[in-house]
Amino acid sequence: MTVSINPTKQLITSITKERWILSERIGFIGLGIMGQKMARNLLRHQPINVYNRTKDRAAMLIQGGATWYDSPSTLAQASQIIFIMVTDDQALREVVLGDEGVLAGIQPGTLVVDHSTVSPQVTQELAERVRQRGGSWADAPVTGGDIGADQATLTIMVGADARDFQRVGPYLQQMGKRILHVGAVGQGQTLKLVSNMVSALNLMAAAEGLQFGLHQGLDLKDMETVMSFGSAQSYELSKILDRLKRDDFTPGFSVANRLKDLRLAIEMAQQNQFSADLGRCALPLYQKHAETGHMDLDESSYVKRWDD
């Protein structure tokens, strides 16, 4: 097995997947919109163990050969690398520290890889608890949305010891296209929160601009033509335009998740004496959108705020 690592950027650039011979026992916890697709991509290359709070979310994976475990602790007993993808700090704490959590079954030498987007403080706390049991931790949040998870083109930012990064790298490459080692444990979450704050601000600016144009009587197609090929172009603009044209705001990345990440970013900024002026201005606006019945819709539904 050969993994090509750029020693400066620590970016896995190319691996011939067909030649992989991976022998470690793999577990995956958390089979939501993202986790189910990521686990499926792992399953294409080797057997995996799976757990989710509701077993029906694992049905397709089990049919494909995954082994079901009734708790995180029993999955941990049977796995050498454990991937986790859950919603927030509270859910991650429960999965790791609960009565039947990962920590109750973890074996020495086990590597826990957390793909959730959570606070760096919780990451450091849980990493230390795992280290005390002889294991290790890597925070590896992802960006690229449900499409990236489905097509295994995610960007994955990893905070970990260099040896743990080398160990997990080939598995991450099964789920993503750009795998970047960004520093020690906690730095992956830090970069993800910074990235998500920028993404949230982009989305809100694009939504406001489009609605402003519609309010002034502009045609949506004309705005798309000009803005998509000019300085206003962005991923979030393209996403909102697509959702508007289809009138489909089924969640890929929900308002609830975007709001959670924006709060975490502002909290991190405050704890580190960084002003984050735009983020602090955006937070109450997005909070109001969430509270007016949009919490479970896609984040791009912010463009509908003016309709309300």
Active site residues: 192
Q: In the chain, what's the furthest Cα-to-Cα distance?
A: 64
Residue 280 and residue 265: Cα distance in Å, rounded?
A: 10
C-alpha to C-alpha distance for 288 and 308, rounded to whole angstroms: 11
Matching residue, tokens 């993808």: 85
3-state secondary structure string, the chain? CCCCECCCCCEECCCCHHHCCCCCCEEEECCCHHHHHHHHHHHCCCCEEEECCCHHHHHHHHHCCCEECCCHHHHHHCCCEEEECCCCHHHHHHHHHCCCCHHHHCCCCCEEEECCCCCHHHHHHHHHHHHHCCCEEEECCEECHHHHHHHCCEEEEEECCHHHHHHHHHHHHCCEEEEEEEECCCHHHHHHHHHHHHHHHHHHHHHHHHHHHHHCCCCHHHHHHHHHCCCCCCHHHHHHHHHHHHCCCCCCCEHHHHHHHHHHHHHHHHHCCCCCHHHHHHHHHHHHHHHHHHCCCEHHHHHHCCCC
Spell out the residues 6+ positions from residue 24 whose beta carbon is closer than 8 angstroms to its own.
80, 81
Do residues 112 and 130 make contact, with C-beta atoms less than 8 angstroms apart?
A: yes
